[in-house]
Structure 1
């Protein structure tokens, strides 16, 4: 199944990737299948635009924001099928600003609960991202090398700090909240640190 996230941030990556979700009969439908002819593999997707009632797929009644962490917006945005008509949803002029605003508000809650980065470190990360982007345009191999160095630094520091958190007995839920990630990702970090 193809999961297509509409939004994500550098801060939280795909742990809090957001998308426009659909509701059919008041609940989220399963994946929409795409008929591509004969064969054993039938592709599917959960992208909102596939739920237009065409080719036997369910027809969305409303949209709402969803997040990879499992959060679902309480707000629902009904689709006006009289205006949309028979055109596919991906061609219709559907206003997605409501779901985007709801997901952004969800991220604000996640960001407020996460441990803040010290200002000098946050500024250094912004500067480093700018330098890497500029280097990628001028000297792509140098940028790749720098990215590799950063990966190794991050992996080493991550193992060391996760090990310290394990030694302190910090629960995965607390780590997840502090990092702005999911419990399962925090648990993987802590378990990997125990294997060091």
Structure 2
């Protein structure tokens, strides 16, 4: 398995539809809603130079309390299949790897355990 920042995928056969990620959790315990972002295209070679581009993001590290954005105090793991991790883990905005964990700890570890359970049922 590979821990790719924000989106986790299993490279083992069988768990299609089981991409995971860490979701930002706010101080009141609720999951953060997606943030609407916009920027002006600055690239002089772009035909869209000067145009405003809009997109939404839900990367946990974008909830940093800056520029009127909400502040993530924790993260929790979720999976595309609908599974949600039970634990909350501190959001360390200056340490993404420490926040997401590894195969044995943190939200990635909890998601990884979920994937192992899924694999055990398809083998």
The two structures share one fold, judged by TM-score above 0.5: yes
CA distance, structure 2, for counterparts of residue 39 and residue 28 of structure 1: 32
Cα displacement string for residues 50-78 of structure 1 (whole angstroms, at most 9, x for unaligned residues): 11112222110101111111111101012
Contact 1:17–1:68 (8 Å) recurs in 2: yes
CA distance, structure 1, for counterparts of residue 73 and residue 88 of structure 2: 9
Q: Which has the higher helix share?
A: 1
Q: What residue number does 1:100 align with?
A: 108
CA distance, structure 2, for counterparts of residue 53 and residue 33 of structure 1: 14
Higher relative contact order (CA 8 A, sep 6+): 2
Contact 2:23–2:59 (8 Å) recurs in 1: yes
User: Alignment length, in residue pairs?
Assistant: 101
Please tell me the root mean square deviation across aligned C-alpha atoms, in Å: 2.2
Q: Which has the higher strand share?
A: 2
1:112 lines up with 2:112 in the alignment: no
Contact 2:23–2:32 (8 Å) recurs in 1: no
Contact 1:32–1:44 (8 Å) recurs in 2: yes
TM-score by length of 1: 0.46
CA distance, structure 1, for counterparts of residue 6 and residue 72 of structure 2: 18
Contact 1:61–1:78 (8 Å) recurs in 2: yes
Q: What residue number does 1:60 align with?
A: 72
Cα displacement string for residues 104-133 of structure 1 (whole angstroms, at most 9, x for unaligned residues): 01111111222x2xxxxxxxxxxxxxxxxx
CA distance, structure 2, for counterparts of residue 39 and residue 31 of structure 1: 22
CA distance, structure 2, for counterparts of residue 34 and residue 110 of structure 1: 35
Gaps of 5+ in 1: 81-88, 117-196
Residue number among 48, 52, 56 corresponding to 2:60 in the alignment: 48
Q: What residue number does 1:17 align with?
A: 19
Q: What residue number does 2:84 align with?
A: 72
**Which structure: larger Rg?**
1
Contact 1:66–1:103 (8 Å) recurs in 2: yes
